């Protein structure tokens, strides 16, 4: 078994503040085995995702959030 490489990525919803949509995105991301945690920040509308980079890419996270909120991108805050 390989050791997970956890990365923290901020996924911005481009000012999309709908709390229920962000909660739905949080649940969808949290359901992934490769995601350790998801923090929702309603204002300014982003999610901070801790995930195993070997199992799920930033692009995959963005696609999941975009499918729910219609808009998402990485804010460049990755560590």
Residue pLDDT, tens place only, 36-68: 999 988 777 788 999 999 999 999 998 998 888
Distance between CA atoms of residues 78 and 25, nearest Å: 19
24 CA to centre of own chain: 11
Q: Which of 58, 23, 61, 24 is nearest to 42 (CA)?
A: 23
Run of H or E residues at 24: helix 19-30
pLDDT of 18 > 90? The answer is no
Sorted by where each starts, the structural domains of the chain and their CATH numbers stand as 6-78 (3.30.70.100)
In a 3-state reduction of DSSP, which class is residue 2? coil
pLDDT of 27 > 50? The answer is yes
> According to the model, what pLDDT value does residue 79 have?
43
Q: What is the pTM of this model?
A: 0.81
> According to the model, what pLDDT value does residue 8 have?
93
Band of the pLDDT at 5, cuts 50, 70, 90?
confident
Place of tokens 């804010």: 75
For the segment 27-34, the average pLDDT, to the nearest whole number, is 96
> According to the model, what pLDDT value does residue 4 have?
76
């Amino acid at each position: 078994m390989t050791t997970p490489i956890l990365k923290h990525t901020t996924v911005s919803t481009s000012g999309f503040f709908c709390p229920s949509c962000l909660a739905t995105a949080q649940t969808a991301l949290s359901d992934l085995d490769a995601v350790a945690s998801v923090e929702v920040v309603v204002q300014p509308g982003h999610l901070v995702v801790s995930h195993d980079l070997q199992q799920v890419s930033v692009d995959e996270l963005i696609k999941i959030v975009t499918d729910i909120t219609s808009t998402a991108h990485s804010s460049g805050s990755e560590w």
